[in-house]
Structure 1
Amino acid sequence: MSSLMHKTNTPLPRRLAAAAIALGSCLALAGPTGSAGAAPADPVPTVFFGDSYTANFGIAPFQEGDRTLCFQAKENYPAVATRSLAGKGITLDVQADVSCGGALIHHFWLEQELPLGAKVPPQQEALKYDTQLTVGSMGGNTLGFTRILKQCSDKLRGPEHVLLPGAPVNADEPAAKCAEFFESGDGKKWLDDQFEQVGTELEEVLERIGYFSPDAKRVLVGYPRLVPEDTTKCLTPAPGQTELPFADVPQDALPVLDQVQKRLNEVMKKAAADIEGGADFVDLYASTGGNTACDGADRGIGGLLEDSQLALGDYKLPWYAHPNEKGRDIQAEKAAATVEQILNR
């Protein structure tokens, strides 16, 4: 059966994916693993995938062409990590970086619709049989984190923020009561359902990688921490800013946002641990507690309504709580360290 026929939009049966992994490990040509403790001698065929946190929305300039509306930075963390690894004698042969802002997990196997009628193909189409390494982040959009933010912010519900995907979970509930909304009743049930979907679909992504690229090491990169443990730090604008880091999101909702993100991190980590053949997880949440959106000059996350480096005409796009250049460099450092460890096994 041709690889084109394999790349359907129908989720693969798990036993078929597992069998393909086992078969691939027996039949595939030996990958560039090198000797124990030594960097691989040959370039490592690599595919980067993911959403706006891999694409690094907000950092200019971004890639142009048929993927312009993905807002993928030319200097996103995959590019920075690749350069860092090259300096250590580890060469990645980047077959593709298909990360795209707004991507849901299912856009790994379904095409993604972009603004203005544009579309990009399923991210899995970048996978080759000889791909040896896959790295990326997915989950936040499927969880509906932007919908959660809009549930908690009147400002984000305004028409000027239509570029931020999604609508409030329940627009009839006031933003000021969003903490209560997500901690009980319909809001809590909605969250539980979203987390279940994220876990199931992340396993599907990892299985598909194993199926189409049976010799590939799979690296799932978590999301950096947004909200600090001490939320009083969020009551002061960052240097040079007038808006609070989380704008009009109520202070009592900030711990709720943090718990949502912590739970997402745990779901991602579990998916990587449970998948047949194993995957590695980069735990950014655990290592970025001092670089949240509320850490002033040390922030690795641009404030919710802080101007990013991108503009549409005269309108500066906000960061919408994405990594700034400092945060991008942290992502790159942690991802590169994990890749180096994997390839030196």
Structure 2
Amino acid sequence: MKRIDAGGLVVGVVMAALVLGGGAFGGAAAVAAPGPSPDDSPAGKTYVALGDSYSAGFGITPYGDEPAPGCFQADQNYPHLVAESLGLVLEDRTCSGAVTANIRDTPQPTITGAGTAPVQSDALSADTDIVTVTIGGNDLGFADVAQTCVAESAQGPLLIDVLGADLANCKQFYAPVVDGIELDRLKYLLDNTVTPALDETFALIREKAPNAEVFVIGYPAITPDAANQPEGGCYSSPLGTGPNPFEPPFPENAFPFTEVDTLYLHGTEARLDAAIGASAEAHGAHYISTLPLTQTHSACAPDGEAFINGITLTSTGGTPTPDPGLFVALGALHPNEAGVGFLAEQVSSAVTEALAGDGGGDGDPEPTATATASATPVPAPDAAAPGAPSGRDSGLAATGSEAAIAGAAAAALLVAGLVAVVIRRRRHAQHH
């Protein structure tokens, strides 16, 4: 463990997030908690950070080699900023690609293969004072979902053929209508696989850290709700804007999803947010729902307002694609510096308020508002239903290291493959 003294860097990062955010989340920050007494001060308390790439800071350079090489744990991720701001003694176990099993009982081979991260919850004990965790997106297979949904244009079709068919959007794949009933596979997976995994994970955290204040941090909005989509939709292509679309200059932070899929993906995000929040609070944790506060700061937001990176191609390094000299910038569909600063501000405020109010993991934390999502029951998808996932896509239900390698930190790798697909398609069209 290491002690990170309070300093000026976190102030600059957090202030940048506040300036960029304007009034979007000012309400959450405006009501300040009463100043803690000396006994309630966070300074010197032990803090263990758990979670996946959204906790680890994938895309925010430089990276360290903890807890294992290949975790892409940023030196200035939100756990480090929180610890620096509050004077906490931090042990950061976050690792890009993690799933719930990697917190509970399964060591994690990192996405580069350079190392194996230890079981994250092994860092917890009765002496742990504060725990933060962001987890669940990789259990849902959200990176696989995102790569399937990348479209060739605002009207489609998808860049990849799904079961040999050119689909206009990925909602047709993930939520097909069969006999007049929409079978949403992601909702079924969330209800029947992801939620039980979250329950088991949060219960174990409480068991291993019985005296800790536990804070579960939800995912910020990657896609916007309908009210925050610009006229004409969010779609933008990642390909070059010059005479040759396969050479620079490339647009920064492209958003290659159709309007139909943007709304579908956002609905999936909202259901995940609600599920994580309900599970966290059921196990005595504080839930910080960041989704409602970031609707205007999604990857669709204008430059200078987004908290989430879009997809950016580059010729100067990053995640390699099958096309020589073409790369995907690290951090695709992950928080940028302003987004990490926003997360740090939300967590720091919640920790300070909880300690000042003498809240505890054995108490009953105040519920946190979450985005609304449909509660309509979804029948179990039939294995023979049209569009049923098969082959690689059946890995959506996987857990442990197999799902971790296909997790959110691998999103850039998956996007890279799609870029190669569209390049081949476009070049084929040019020669015919």
Q: Report the Cα distance in structure 2 between the residues aligned to 1:125 and 1:252, rounded to whole angstroms.
A: 42
Q: Aligned in 2, Cα 1:137/1:66: closer, same or farther, shift over 3 Å? A: closer
Q: Report the Cα distance in structure 1 between the residues aligned to 2:194 and 2:254, rounded to whole angstroms.
A: 27
1:319 aligns with 2:324: no
Q: Aligned in 2, Cα 1:317/1:200: closer, same or farther, shift over 3 Å? A: same
Deviation at 1:189? 4.6
Residue 227 of structure 1 contacts residue 292 of structure 1 at CA under 8 Å; is this kept in 2?
Answer: yes
- Aligned partner of residue 48 in structure 1, secondary structure: strand
Q: Report the Cα distance in structure 1 between the residues aligned to 2:312 and 2:165, rounded to whole angstroms.
A: 22
Deviation at 1:79? 1.0
Deviations 1:75-123 (A, max 9, x none): 00111122222xxxxx3121x1111111111111211122336311111
Specify every segment of 5 or more residues in structure 1 that has no aligned partner in the other structure, as ranges. Answer: 1-34, 86-90, 156-167
Residue 81 of structure 1 contacts residue 333 of structure 1 at CA under 8 Å; is this kept in 2?
Answer: yes
Q: Report the Cα distance in structure 2 between the residues aligned to 1:175 and 1:79, rounded to whole angstroms.
A: 43
Pick aligned residue for 1:279 from 275, 281, 285: 285
Residue 57 of structure 1 contacts residue 322 of structure 1 at CA under 8 Å; is this kept in 2?
Answer: yes
- Aligned partner of residue 246 in structure 1, secondary structure: coil
Q: Which residue of 1 aligns with 2:99?
A: 104
Deviations 1:279-319 (A, max 9, x none): 10111001111211111121111003366x98368745343
1:130 aligns with 2:130: no
- Alignment map for 1:268-307 (pairs within 5 Å): 268-275=276-283, 278-297=284-303, 298-305=305-312
Q: Which residue of 1 aligns with 2:113?
A: 116
| Superposition RMSD in Å | 3.0
Deviations 1:13-50 (A, max 9, x none): xxxxxxxxxxxxxxxxxxxxxx9942525621110000
- Alignment map for 1:57-72 (pairs within 5 Å): 57-64=58-65, 67-72=68-73
Q: Report the Cα distance in structure 2 between the residues aligned to 1:237 and 1:291, rounded to whole angstroms.
A: 19
Q: Aligned in 2, Cα 1:316/1:98: closer, same or farther, shift over 3 Å? A: same
TM-score (normalised: structure 2): 0.61
Q: Which residue of 1 aligns with 2:258?
A: 250
Q: Using the TM superposition, name which of 320-329 and 186-195 deviates more.
A: 186-195
1:176 aligns with 2:168: yes
- Aligned partner of residue 177 in structure 1, secondary structure: coil
Residue 246 of structure 1 contacts residue 304 of structure 1 at CA under 8 Å; is this kept in 2?
Answer: yes
Residue 319 of structure 2 contacts residue 330 of structure 2 at CA under 8 Å; is this kept in 1?
Answer: no
Deviation at 1:260? 0.5
TM-score (normalised: structure 1): 0.75
Q: Which residue of 2 aligns with 1:16?
A: none
Q: Aligned in 2, Cα 1:65/1:215: closer, same or farther, shift over 3 Å? A: closer
Deviation at 1:342? 1.0
Q: Which residue of 2 aligns with 1:12?
A: none
Specify every segment of 5 or more residues in structure 2 that has no aligned partner in the other structure, as ranges. Answer: 1-33, 153-159, 239-248, 358-432
Q: Which residue of 2 aligns with 1:234?
A: 234
Deviations 1:95-152 (A, max 9, x none): x111111111111121112233631111111112200110020000001101111221
Q: Which residue of 1 aligns with 2:76?
A: 75
Deviation at 1:225? 0.7
Q: Aligned in 2, Cα 1:84/1:262: closer, same or farther, shift over 3 Å? A: same
1:201 aligns with 2:197: yes
Deviations 1:217-255 (A, max 9, x none): 1110000011223333513589x96266322x2222110
Residue 66 of structure 2 contacts residue 73 of structure 2 at CA under 8 Å; is this kept in 1?
Answer: no
Q: Which residue of 2 aligns with 1:139?
A: 136
- Aligned partner of residue 343 in structure 1, secondary structure: helix
Q: Which residue of 1 aligns with 2:429?
A: none
Residue 76 of structure 1 contacts residue 328 of structure 1 at CA under 8 Å; is this kept in 2?
Answer: yes
Q: Which residue of 2 aligns with 1:38?
A: 37
Q: Report the Cα distance in structure 2 between the residues aligned to 1:251 and 1:225, rounded to whole angstroms.
A: 15
Deviation at 1:192? 2.7
Identical positions, percent? 26
Q: Which residue of 2 aligns with 1:342?
A: 354
Q: Report the Cα distance in structure 2 between the residues aligned to 1:334 and 1:325, rounded to whole angstroms.
A: 14
Q: Aligned in 2, Cα 1:79/1:287: closer, same or farther, shift over 3 Å? A: same
Q: Aligned in 2, Cα 1:300/1:37: closer, same or farther, shift over 3 Å? A: same
More helix by share: 1
Aligned residues: 289
Q: Report the Cα distance in structure 2 between the residues aligned to 1:152 and 1:210, rounded to whole angstroms.
A: 37
- Alignment map for 1:143-182 (pairs within 5 Å): 143-153=140-150, 172=164, 174=166, 176-182=168-174
Aligned AA (2:61):
A
Residue 62 of structure 1 contacts residue 74 of structure 1 at CA under 8 Å; is this kept in 2?
Answer: yes
Q: Aligned in 2, Cα 1:100/1:244: closer, same or farther, shift over 3 Å? A: closer
Q: Report the Cα distance in structure 2 between the residues aligned to 1:55 and 1:224, rounded to whole angstroms.
A: 14
Q: Report the Cα distance in structure 2 between the residues aligned to 1:52 and 1:290, rounded to whole angstroms.
A: 22
Q: Report the Cα distance in structure 2 between the residues aligned to 1:310 and 1:49, rounded to whole angstroms.
A: 29
Pick aligned residue for 1:212 from 208, 211, 225: 208
Q: Using the TM superposition, name which of 102-111 and 183-192 deviates more.
A: 183-192
